[in-house]
Amino acid sequence: MEKIAVISADIINSSKFEEHAFIDTMHVLEEPAGNYLVNRGEPVLSSRGDSFQLMTAEIRNSFFKAIFLKSYFKKKQVGLKDKKGKGTIDIRISLAVGLSKTIPENIGKTMEEPFVLSGRALDQMKRKKQTFVITTSHEEYNKELELSCAFLDNLFDGWTLAQAEVIYYLVQGFKQTEIAGLLNLSQPSVSSRIQLARWSLIEKMNTRFLQIIEKI
């Protein structure tokens, strides 16, 4: 048995965006993989272009990969179909960690535990008006994670595009001075955006997440 993480995700209200502009945002999933989100050789299942599922054996980095996805889309603005101007994109993310007998080559045809947990939670998110959930096979931890994710949802909802943009780079390990250079900002401006995005709370959540997955 091997412990793996599965992320299931879909774009909220994707039909309101211009299709060609929306598709351009999905290059984060494209092959050849090897970027921060998907390591080379890790399968990605895409459906309809607005929903996808991916797996990783790097479970200790899976929470930050979910944050990477959240910030990647929330920093985007895409043209709207029915009116002029652009709209911001948001995404539902269901992260699950569990045991798998094998590492499946076709993740669209597996019923291994973490895939079932992640997909089932994603199906429930729209009804519960959630955009970020973490699930394990242990109910005692799930209750704690549900509450923590409710606070994270509120945090993400308050992100501006500018704040999401700096988190997108920060979660990949870029230093503040490097981010400042990439975005043509001063280092104090980057630092301010990081604080406003509540990065310190995200780091604390990751610490607790790592403690939990060590026990399951």
CATH (residue range 2-215): 3.30.70
The residues facing 87 across adjacent strands are 78
Amino acid in the structure at residue 132? F
pLDDT of residue 19: 76
> Going by C-beta distance under 8 Å and a sequence separation of 6 or more, which residues neighbour residue 213?
3, 59, 60, 97, 136
- Where exactly are the structural domains of the chain? 2-215
Query: Which of 100, 96, 124 is CA-nearest to residue 112?
Result: 100
Per-block average pLDDT, block size 10, for the chain (216 residues)? Answer: 89 82 66 60 67 86 94 88 83 93 67 87 90 94 95 96 96 95 96 97 97 92
Per-residue buried b or exposed e for 149-181, using 16+ beta carbons within 10 Å of the residue's own CB? beebeebbeebeebbbbbbbbbbbebebeebbe
pTM above 0.75, yes or no: yes
Dist. CA 204–CA 142, nearest whole Å? 17
| Tokens, residue 98 | 């569990």
| Tokens, residue 145 | 């994670």
